[in-house]
Amino acid sequence: MDIDQARTFLAIAAHGSFLEAARRLHVTQSTVSARIQNLEDELGARLFVRNRAGASLTPAGQRFLQHAKTLVLTVEQARHDVGLPSRFSASLRVGGRIALWEDFLPSWVGWMRRTAPDVSIRSEIGFEEDLMRRLIEGTLDIGLMYTPSHAPGLIVERLFDETLVMVSTHPDTRWPGEDYIYVEWGPGFYARHLESYPDLERPAQVVNIGWLGIQLILANGGSCFLPVRMARSFIQAGRLFRVADAPEFLHPAYMVFPREADSEVLQSGLAGLRELALQEQTSGSVT
CA distance 214 to 223: 9
CB count in 10 Å sphere of residue 152: 12
How do beta strands 119-125 and 90-96 pair?
A: parallel
CB count in 10 Å sphere of residue 108: 24
What is the reported pTM?
0.70
Query: Facing residues of 258 across strands?
Result: 154
Which helix (H) or strand (E) covers residue 191, if one does?
helix 187-196
Domains in the chain: ranges and CATH: 3-79 (1.10.10.10), 92-150+253-283 (3.40.190.10), 161-251 (3.40.190.10)
Q: pLDDT (tens digit, 0 to 9) for every residue of the chain, 287 residues total?
A: 788 999 999 999 988 999 999 998 999 999 999 999 999 999 999 999 988 878 999 999 999 988 888 788 777 766 665 665 566 677 889 999 999 999 899 999 999 999 999 988 989 999 998 899 889 878 899 999 999 998 888 999 999 999 999 999 999 998 899 999 999 999 999 999 999 999 999 899 999 999 999 999 999 999 999 999 899 999 999 999 999 999 999 999 999 999 876 788 899 999 999 999 998 777 654 33
